[in-house]
Chains A and B, each alone.
Chain A
Amino acid sequence: MKSVYENEMKLEFLSKSNNEAFARISVAAFASQLDPTVEELADIKTSVSEAVTNAIVHGYEDKEGIVRIHCKIVDNLLVIEISDSGKGIENIDEARKPLYTSKPNLERSGMGFTIMESFMDELNVESIVGLGTKVTMKKTIKKEDKLLGTGLNSLTEIQS
């Protein structure tokens, strides 16, 4: 039987803007076990930065709250969930439109969701006004005959 490599991690931190760098670097470090290319890693870091910034700036509007990150690896798929218990998004379709921003006075570009959408394979946004927002992103890291984790993949192949 072929074994599937799995791993998981959770992070919780205060909605302070200097945690944006902490969040993207931590997720990138976790993702690095899939041996992504430099470009794939840059895409992941940028997408995490966008989602975490949204939670801080829009979810909590710079008030203190907890931002949660839950990462999973299943085989060569990376799943990143980023959630807040902030104010929520009233109109998700509108928020996801390129260049749309609810805070133009803060020089926000309105490109956050567009970047997450194009840098990751899949983006899902769930939100309840008054309760919070959860952003789920998925990206498959291409395997080029790489041996993951313990090398069991190659071992089972030899046995079969």
Chain B
Amino acid sequence: MNSKYIQEDKLLLIEITEEIDHHTTEEIRRKTDNEITRFMPRKVIFDFNNVTFMDSAGIGMILGRYKMMKMLGGSLEMVNVKPSIKKIFEMCGILKICPIIESEAI
């Protein structure tokens, strides 16, 4: 996982580079929460470009970060989500609150 904070946009970019399951979400969660409390961004964007696998643990992880950002008055978006992973997000309606954006929009 890599992260980048863009000061002028108050934007925190989180690039996930591992498969997302119950095992890996613990570290992604810990690192992301550290970055969020450190920078207090207005928006967090998760980049899924290098994610080849995700199960329902990813839903819980994204939802948890969404709640945190909402509490801080911010938002969460996702980008470069592959069809096999999008299918999982679509099943639970999470995309209404954590939308997938086009990569040109960053």
CA distance A56 to B23 in the complex (A): 10
**Residues of chain A lying within 8 A (CB to CB) of residue B64:** 107
Q: Is the CB of B91 within 8 A of A56?
A: no
Q: Is the CB of A115 within 8 A of B22?
A: no
Q: A39-B84, A107-B29, A107-B63 are in contact. Are A50 and B55 (CB under 8 A)?
A: yes
A54 to chain B, nearest CB (A): 9
**Residues of chain B lying within 8 A (CB to CB) of residue A24:** 53
Interface size range of chain A in the complex: 20 to 34
* B60 at interface, CB cutoff 8 A: yes
Secondary structure class of chain A's binding surface, majority of residues: helix
Mark interface residues in A52-93 (1 if CB within 8 Å of B CB, else 0).
Answer: 010011000000000000000000000000000000000000
Secondary structure class of chain B's binding surface, majority of residues: helix
Closest to A49 in B: B55
* B98 at interface, CB cutoff 8 A: no
**Residues of chain B lying within 8 A (CB to CB) of residue A143:** none
Q: Is the CB of A112 within 8 A of B19?
A: no
Q: Is the CB of A53 within 8 A of B29?
A: no
Residues 14-73 of B at the A interface (beta carbon under 8 Å): 19, 21-23, 25-26, 29, 53-57, 59-61, 63-64
Q: Is the CB of B92 within 8 A of A99?
A: yes
Mark interface residues in A113-152 (1 if CB within 8 Å of B CB, else 0).
Answer: 0110010000000000000000000000000000000000
**Residues of chain A lying within 8 A (CB to CB) of residue B21:** 17, 20-21, 49, 53
* B100 at interface, CB cutoff 8 A: no
CA distance A20 to B64 in the complex (A): 21
CA distance A22 to B57 in the complex (A): 16
B22 CB contact (under 8 Å) in A46, A56, A98:
A56
A62 to chain B, nearest CB (A): 10
B55 CB contact (under 8 Å) in A38, A99, A107, A115:
A115
Query: 5 A-B contacts, Cβ less than 8 Å apart?
Result: A17-B21, A53-B21, A109-B92, A110-B56, A114-B91
Please give the residue numbers on chain A whose beta carbons come within 8 Å of chain B beta carbons, in ascending order. 17-18, 20-21, 24, 38-39, 42, 45-46, 49-50, 53, 56-57, 98-99, 106-112, 114-115, 118
